[in-house]
Chain A
């Protein structure tokens, strides 16, 4: 298991692409290999995944107030 790595900056960018669903098959394959052999990659992967999940799952999603929906619909009707 590799404890240190000199490509961390590039690997981090790659990890983000992968989590965003924007990576190529080769990048995906490279990360899979790194995840069994490179400690910094494993840590970065888990951190990035956790941060992304914080944003997607744990942040409150504000819903549009009903009055605003009604107001917009009313305004639209008097438009033309």
Chain B
């Protein structure tokens, strides 16, 4: 039976050649890798030649994913260009806090996310800024728990096209959008996401859950506006 659930590892992140380090804590340096390399991760002494080598072999292969992430966050090509450039220049400037062989993609995504929050979020073209705290509180409430499932059928979303999905995704508050991008589009594990976002794994899990419920509500609106009839139970 082809629909038997399996652990779907094929889209897991990381360039195939990177051996993931054994120690989970090696994934990323503690603290902000950009502003203050942690004392736990002593600066590598790379020669200039090694710096370029690390940059080209470990960082550049992720540039399309980074651009896609930047574009999904800013929803603007010029901002995405600037954000990716800033991130790569920062990554080079702080390359001594990157340990070769560790997860470069997660390290870069974390820098990009921090740059976005610090420099772009304010000027990004978010329509009527949604207070994330508000949304999360609402979704934490008892009411939200009881209406846990969105009345939507797989058949009604199967004909949606990419642009419609993108529009639905873009309409989510940025913190919810971010977890969906990291998980479903980039294939990061929960643990990697926790480190990229500086939040506990439990928060990753619950935020993702809420994000998907919101997304399904948007998709349902789409599907029904396209004339799909909400089917009732057979």
Contact = CB atoms under 8 A, between A and B. Distances in A.
A60 B92 contact: no
B154 interface: yes
B11 A56 contact: yes
Interface residues of A, number: 48
Contacts of B119: none
Contacts of A80: 48, 51
B210 to A, nearest CB: 11
A30 B153 CA distance: 22
Given A55-B165, A72-B85, A64 B185 contact: no
B154 A49 contact: yes
Interface in A48-78: 48-52, 54-56, 58-65, 68-69, 71-72, 75-76
Contacts of A68: 67, 81, 84-85
Interface residues of B, number: 58
Contacts of A31: 5
B67 A62 contact: yes
A35 to B, nearest CB: 8
A48 B180 CA distance: 13
Nearest to A23: B7
B145 A54 contact: no
A12 interface: yes
B120 interface: no
A43 interface: yes
Given A18-B5, A35-B4, 7 more contacts: A12-B148, A21-B8, A46-B3, A47-B216, A59-B162, A72-B84, A76-B55
Interface of B: 3-5, 7-9, 11-12, 48, 51-52, 55, 60, 63-64, 66-68, 71-72, 80-81, 84-85, 88-89, 92-93, 145, 148-149, 152-154, 157-158, 160-163, 165-166, 169, 180, 183-185, 187, 189-190, 205, 208-209, 212, 215-216, 219, 233
In order of increasing CB-CB distance, the 3 nearest A-B pairs are A64-B67, A9-B148, A46-B154
26 contacts: A12-B148, A12-B149, A12-B209, A16-B209, A20-B183, A21-B8, A22-B189, A23-B7, A28-B5, A31-B5, A35-B5, A46-B154, A49-B154, A50-B154, A51-B212, A51-B216, A54-B165, A56-B184, A60-B162, A62-B80, A63-B64, A64-B64, A65-B67, A75-B85, A75-B89, A76-B55
